[in-house]
């Protein structure tokens, strides 16, 4: 896959096209720190071309039967599965994530996103309301037009397909922008679209930076729907642009997720689950549990066993089959992680594991962006490290005494995305789940996904929900038709 001469083009109107300005950015492989391809550095002119193509395609696509749209999306899912190995390798090289993770999680889930929404549109219902003896109402749910879809670098194809699939399944057309750091699988998806027979212009992918491509998409007057996943600071800018234009917006933003372990939990399961939720994808999953709270009577035992298990994670070349921990996505992100580890020490924390740059795993990865799983104890709940999103392989572990106390800790952040609770006491699980202010609570598990459930965050973790019916609702406009009797 390494191909320094590859210049990743845009995908507009079914064609791979160079950016109008002819400019490209280096695309760095995080494991080596070296450029391995280039990506289009597009601007407003490319966004305009994509909007024109999407607008033209909408006329026909919005009138295409659900059965036909479904057939094409199912074909896309099949092709993603057929190309699993190629896509997984591309994702691993682009992001630094272990190849085994891309193969088992990212790419299969991208395929299931297409399959899920391809079949969901065959099973929709429409509400009807009878108004006394006066009238009969029914609800039409129509596609809204062009959707602008902006996604981050941590789960590139998985998160982009989570938006593309429901948007186009519902009959919208789309202008998508992947992160400039991880454009490769979005590029390869263009090939999938062509082979699957997706009509030209239904999906357009414009590569480039947030300010040059993301901002013009959110500000474009003919893009009325914006689905954005990324950081809270960027989400705020997107909201500021969209609000006065009355766009329909869904924002999936950052998190600082609590992971609560009660002393009555199955500790083996809680430790295995917590190591995974702390360090999967080098801790770069918005749903990672970065604040671990353990009931005091189990605290010492938990910390020792957690550290022991985390120390067994093999950090290595992402392309090595045995690697559990790959590279951090970029130098900037690596610096951010280091900054927070230094800050933790200043705030009184104690490093129980990791904390400094490891030896490069091999010759090829000498200049790669690696950081080991890092565990910090002894920090106050309200310090910066416990409140701000790090988005790396760093967790804090804090003891607690009472249920109400840990609920307070869990909610003591501006974020509200997800949480895990580990306990054998079912009543407690229900009680705690009800009181934590987050969009998803996992009990005795983590990252179990059912595509039918609502997904999203509270507070500064975002607004709106996607997934299942929520996704179908977001990408359609409900219209009431009232017929007099
Ligand atoms: P960013 O917010 O930096 O970027 C997200 C996307 O927005 C990228 O494609 C970026 O482009 C683009 N962008 C940047 N500036 C603008 C702008 N002014 N207008 C429109 N688009 C813009 O997030 P990261 O890529 O750093 O991703 C990490 C963040 O994403 C974390 O905070 C994480 O929690 C969050 N996230 C949330 C999830 C959720 O479901 N709630 C899931 C996964 C991640 P470019 O990168 O090319 O500059």
pLDDT tens, position by position, 45-86: 999 999 999 999 999 999 999 999 999 999 999 999 999 999
The finding on whether 471 has its CB within 6 A of some atom of ligand 1 is no
CA of 181 to the centre of ligand 1 (A): 11
Could you tell which of 8, 210, 215 is best to mutate to test the pocket of ligand 1, judged by most ligand atoms within 8 Å of the CB? 210
Residue 1 predicted with pLDDT over 80: no
The finding on whether 417 has its CB within 6 A of some atom of ligand 1 is yes
Q: Which residue has the tokens 């580990």?
A: 422
232-267 tens-digit pLDDT: 999 999 999 999 999 999 999 999 999 999 999 999
Active site residue 383: no
Residue 2 predicted with pLDDT over 80: no
The finding on whether 210 has its CB within 6 A of some atom of ligand 1 is yes
Active site residue 286: yes
The finding on whether 336 has its CB within 6 A of some atom of ligand 1 is no
Portion of the chain with pLDDT greater than 90, in percent: 99
Residue 395 predicted with pLDDT over 70: yes
d(CA 262, CA 101): 29
Give pLDDT, residue 251.
98
Q: Kindly give the number of the ligand 1 atom that is closest to the alpha carbon of 254.
A: 34
Residue pair 213/205 in contact by the 8 Å Cβ criterion: no
What are the percentages of helix, strand and coil residues in the chain, rounded to 5? 40, 25, 35
CA of 42 to the centre of ligand 1 (A): 17
CA of 158 to the centre of ligand 1 (A): 14
Angle among Cα 22, 223, 463 to the nearest 5 degrees reads: 115
Q: Which of 117, 116, 141 is nearest to 127 (CA)?
A: 141
d(CA 439, CA 152): 19
336-358 tens-digit pLDDT: 999 999 999 999 999 999 999 99
Give pLDDT, residue 84.
98
State the catalytic residue, choosing from 286, 288, 365, 466: 286
* Neighbouring C-alpha atoms within 13 Å toward the C-beta of 39: 26
The finding on whether 153 has its CB within 6 A of some atom of ligand 1 is yes
d(CA 85, CA 103): 7
Residue 116 predicted with pLDDT over 80: yes
Give pLDDT, residue 3.
60
Return the bridge partners of 388, or none.
none
What mean pLDDT comes out for the span 363-383? 97
CA of 482 to the centre of ligand 1 (A): 42
Residue pair 201/56 in contact by the 8 Å Cβ criterion: yes
Q: Kindly give the number of the ligand 1 atom that is closest to the alpha carbon of 333.
A: 26
d(CA 75, CA 142): 23
Residue 126's CB: how many other CB atoms inside 10 A?
A: 10
Could you tell which of 105, 227, 230 is best to mutate to test the pocket of ligand 1, judged by most ligand atoms within 8 Å of the CB? 230
Residue 137 backbone dihedrals phi, psi, to 5 degrees: -115, 140
DSSP SS3 for 395 = strand
Q: Which residues contact 320 (CB under 8 A, 6 or more apart)?
A: 99, 361, 362
Residue 98 backbone dihedrals phi, psi, to 5 degrees: -60, 140
CA of 229 to the centre of ligand 1 (A): 6
312-327 tens-digit pLDDT: 999 999 999 999 999 9
- C-alpha distances in Å from residue 159, one per residue of 150, 300, 307, 329: 9, 37, 31, 16
Residue pair 209/232 in contact by the 8 Å Cβ criterion: no
What mean pLDDT comes out for the span 388-415? 98
Give pLDDT, residue 5.
79
Q: Which residues contact 32 (CB under 8 A, 6 or more apart)?
A: 364, 365, 366, 367, 368
d(CA 218, CA 339): 31
């Amino acid at each position: 896959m390494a191909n320094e001469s590859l210049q990743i083009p845009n995908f507009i109107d079914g064609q791979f096209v160079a950016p109008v300005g002819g400019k490209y950015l280096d695309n760095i492989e995080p494991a080596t720190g070296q450029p391995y391809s280039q990506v289009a550095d597009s601007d407003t002119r490319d966004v305009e071309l994509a909007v024109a193509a999407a607008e033209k395609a909408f006329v026909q696509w919005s009138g295409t039967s659900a059965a036909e749209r479904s057939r094409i999306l199912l074909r896309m899912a099949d092709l993603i599965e057929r190309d699993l190995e190629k896509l997984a390798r591309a994702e691993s090289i682009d992001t630094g994530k272990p190849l085994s993770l891309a193969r088992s999680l990212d790419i299969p889930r991208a395929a299931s996103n297409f399959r899920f929404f391809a079949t969901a549109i065959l099973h929709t219902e429409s509400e009807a309301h009878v108004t006394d003896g006066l009238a009969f109402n029914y609800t039409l749910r129509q596609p809204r037009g062009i959707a602008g879809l902006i996604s981050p670098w941590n789960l590139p194809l998985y998160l982009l397909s989570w938006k593309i699939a429901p948007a186009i399944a519902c009959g919208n057309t789309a202008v998508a922008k992947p992160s400039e750091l991880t454009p490769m699988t979005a590029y390869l998806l263009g090939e999938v679209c062509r082979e699957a027979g997706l009509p030209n212009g239904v999906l357009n992918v414009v590569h480039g930076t947030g300010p040059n491509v993301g901002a013009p998409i959110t500000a474009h007057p003919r893009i009325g729907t914006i689905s954005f996943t990324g950081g809270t600071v960027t989400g705020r800018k997107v909201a500021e642009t969209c609000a006065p234009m009355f766009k329909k917006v869904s924002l999936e933003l950052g998190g600082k997720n609590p992971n609560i372990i009660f002393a009555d939990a199955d500790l083996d399961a809680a430790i295995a689950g917590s190591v995974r939720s702390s360090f999967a994808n080098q801790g770069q999953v918005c749903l990672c549990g970065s604040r671990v709270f353990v009931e005091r009577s189990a605290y010492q035992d938990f910390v020792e066993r957690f550290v022991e298990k985390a120390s067994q994670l093999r950090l290595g070349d992402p392309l090595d089959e045995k690697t559990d921990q790959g590279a951090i996505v970029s130098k900037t992100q690596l610096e951010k992680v280091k900054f927070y580890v230094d800050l933790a020490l200043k705030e009184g924390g104690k490093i129980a594991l990791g904390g400094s740059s490891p030896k490069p795993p091999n010759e090829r990865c000498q200049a790669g962006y690696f950081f080991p799983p890092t565990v910090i104890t002894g920090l106050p709940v309200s310090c910066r490290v416990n409140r701000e999103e790090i988005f790396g392989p760093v967790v804090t572990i804090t003891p607690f005494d009472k249920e109400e106390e840990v609920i307070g800790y869990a909610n003591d952040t501006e974020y509200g995305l997800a949480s895990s609770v580990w306990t054998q006491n079912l009543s407690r699980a229900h009680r705690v789940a009800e009181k934590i202010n987050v969009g998803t609570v996992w009990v005795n598990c983590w990252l179990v996904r059912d595509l039918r459930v609502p997904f999203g965050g509270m507070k500064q973790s975002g607004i709106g929900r996607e997934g299942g019916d929520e996704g179908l609702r977001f990408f359609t406009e409900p219209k009431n038709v009232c017929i007099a009797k």
